[in-house]
Chains A and B, each alone.
Chain A
Amino acid sequence: MNRILLGLTLATITACAAYAAGPDLGAVTQSATNWPAIGMFLFFVLMTLGITYKAAKGTKSAADFYAAGGGISAGTNALAIAGDYMSAASFLGISGLVYTSGFDGLIYSTGFLVGWPIVLFLIAERLRNLGKFTFADVASFRLDQTSIRIISAVGTLVVVAFYLIAQMVGAGKLIQLLFGLPYLYAVIIVGVLMIVYVAFGGMKATTWVQVIKACLLLGGATFMAGAVLFKYGFNPEALFAASVQVHPKGDAIMAPGGLVSNPIEAISLGVGLMFGTAGLPHILMRFFTVSDAQAARKSVFYATGLIGYFYILTFIIGFGGIALLMSDPSYFKLGAAGTFDKLKDMIGGTNMVAVNLANAVGGPYFLGFISAVAFATILAVVAGLTLAGASAVSHDLYAQVIARGRTTEKHEVNLSKISAVVIGIVAIYLGYVFENQNVAFMVGLAFAVAASCNFPVLAMSILWRGTTTWGALAGGLVGLISAVGMVVLSKAVWVVTFGNAAAIFPYDNPALFSMPLAFVTIWAVSSLDNSRRAQRERAAFEAQFVRSETGIGAVGAHAH
């Protein structure tokens, strides 16, 4: 059956590719460069489907499906973590932000990176020592299985949903632009492929797809940044000087601009980015794929290096875009008399800076390569999200809450595969529905929910003896509801989407308020909770503490 489905997927993709070559493309200027992109993307898909086929044959147990049998090495896991983090949004979005505002792009890069040391110092090793497949395993270690699994699974699914919608809509638009495929086709291809990766290959396929994409993306970005620097004699100062010359904002691009106008807003964004990283379910899952706490720790170190390197590359690429594209009219939609606005009229919008720069430094084949890599990036990220969501449904909600532990491993894994298919279909549907909506705030919202619900529940249950089930449940709910509520009442949704006159909540980023609210609630409710269960849970902290600190009794690499 696996073979037939794989075949069908291939047929669908080939058909779509053929469609792309049809007469519809006549008006699109990129049509001449589409073939290398589609060819390279097809090659990537074939390779990843091959890996999925191999992974599917080796995936027998639940440990294989959720955690790749615990046999992933620290280096491989680091690439997979970095891959999860280097989404198309950060590659195209941050280089585009650097192109329009210069320095301000760096503010986002640093915010996304500084969460990693926190993950390492507070979470990574303890998570590996206590958990098995999902972070709910850890949060519910000594607390009530039913309540804590429910709040963790809800937190996971909310984060996954917002993240997925943003990625699906981004994928549709990007592929429409790069390959000339209709939006709906693009969304369906992404949805179908992610279902195949996750449902057949589980964590093994998801990890290797991520690793391949991370290597391609890092390689491509390195080449591009290298080519830019080469033109300026490997002297960044010369690149900056050339950029300031041609940018309409001139020297202002070297200084902070309008991105951080309000200190509270800036700090709230920082809190969300920093602590949200420590609560993203698809990232936390990766710590269960390595053999032990040492490997978990090393993978964060390598991943931090890779991600930091990548952000420095996007910064150079953004400036390369300024210096090399801004004075070349062929990358812009020209107005009357051949005039164009350097910041607004770029072909495909400023998110296409990296893609257009690929053409400028490497010609049409390199453009095709970067386009294929951008598509592959989206695919790999949505596959990781789907697996995290499917695990929350099958391992947390079904096995522990509904079946109350009375189920078989095989049954649980099958349910996970079905969940992956359902999540994929829902994602295609949501991608379709949200096509013309403003989804830019959704990744920020996903980080805010992760920082305000998942992270407090996880951190308090591991680190504070006094945490009880009631406390964690109440705190998680308060964090979740306040983060979502504040975003709904903020400008991005209340004014832009609902059309009200003024925002009720004055900031775009809620984490500065919602995260402390969650921590205080966990502390207060736990302190007031003096039930028999609460006393039992506090008494059980000792055993959890020993295992989290030493790894004695932890789940090892899984036998095959």
Chain B
Amino acid sequence: MSSSTLGLRGGTAPPPSRNAAAAVDPQIDRIVRTPEFQQLVAERTRFGVILTILMLVVYFGFIGLIAFDKSLMAVKVGGGTASLGLFLGVFVILFAFALTGIYVARANTRFDALSAALKRSVGQ
């Protein structure tokens, strides 16, 4: 890994400015205006927001069912002992794991490719 980037905020010796972002960098403007950057941010933000909402809906849906419809959660599945609530609880756990997997798969391919294209186009 490169250690050349260390200088930006490296060490605790007094930096020229105590606020890293205070230094105005003309390159920032250039990066923000590239289509690659705008696409990366738009796609990733949308994807992150959709997955976050899915997680919130599933989890608070589960909690809501427990709070408002206990009898539904007690319904037996397939005539056995295990209840619907138990299956839903395990489903919430698997769902959370699956969501992180989906995000990572998408990030490893699509977002990293966009990010690499951006770095090429701004000459990093």
Contacts and interface: CB of A to CB of B under 8 A. Distances in A.
B6 A559 contact: yes
A121 B81 contact: no
B119 A550 contact: yes
Given A122-B48, A255-B83, A274-B59, A550 B115 contact: yes
A344 B89 CA distance: 26
Interface string A531-560: 000001000101111100111111111110
Interface in A64-123: 70, 103, 106-107, 109-111, 113-114, 116-118, 120-122
Contacts of A263: 64, 67-68
Given A552-B124, A555-B8, A241 B81 contact: yes
A237 B80 contact: yes
Contacts of A260: 63, 66-67
A408 B21 contact: no
Given A543-B21, A553-B8, A312 B31 contact: no
Contacts of B44: 549
A153 B64 CA distance: 35
A53 B22 CA distance: 41
Given A109-B93, A237-B82, A550-B37, A304 B118 contact: no
B14 to A, nearest CB: 5
A213 B36 CA distance: 43
A103 B85 CA distance: 8
Interface string B62-99: 11101110110110100011110110011011101101
A254 B1 contact: no
Contacts of A118: 52, 55
B5 A553 contact: yes
15 contacts: A107-B89, A114-B96, A236-B82, A241-B81, A260-B67, A267-B60, A270-B59, A270-B63, A300-B100, A400-B18, A409-B12, A540-B22, A546-B28, A552-B122, A557-B3
Contact of B51 (A121, A142, A305, A549): A121
A91 to B, nearest CB: 16
A298 B60 contact: no
Nearest to B23: A543
A289 interface: no
Contact of B5 (A294, A407, A540, A556): A556
A399 B12 contact: yes
Task: Bin the interface of chain B by size.
Answer: 35 or more
Given A540-B22, A552-B31, A554-B5, 17 more contacts: A70-B1, A116-B96, A118-B55, A120-B104, A121-B51, A121-B52, A141-B20, A254-B86, A255-B85, A263-B64, A305-B97, A543-B28, A544-B21, A546-B31, A550-B115, A556-B3, A559-B6
Given A121-B51, A409-B13, A543-B25, A559 B90 contact: no
B103 A107 contact: no
A171 to B, nearest CB: 28
Nearest to B22: A540
Given A405-B18, A549-B44, A552-B31, A117 B103 contact: yes
Contacts of A298: 104
A406 B93 CA distance: 47
A291 interface: yes
A145 B108 CA distance: 34
A62 interface: yes
Contacts of A113: 92-93, 96
5 cross-chain pairs, A with B, having the tightest CB-CB distances, nearest first? A255-B74, A263-B67, A557-B1, A559-B3, A106-B89
B96 A308 contact: yes
B104 A110 contact: no
A549 B96 CA distance: 23
Contacts of A559: 3, 6
Contact of A256 (B19, B25, B41, B85): B85
Interface string A219-256: 00000000000000000110011011000000100111
A310 to B, nearest CB: 10
Interface string A292-311: 10100110110011001001
Contacts of A312: 90, 93
A53 to B, nearest CB: 26
Interface string A376-408: 000000000000000000010001100011111
Interface in A19-71: 62, 70
Contact of A114 (B9, B37, B92): B92
A123 B59 CA distance: 19
A107 B67 CA distance: 11
A426 interface: no
Contacts of A404: 18
A117 B28 contact: no
Contacts of A215: none
A267 B97 CA distance: 21
B35 interface: no
Contacts of A256: 66, 70, 73-74, 85
Contacts of A508: none
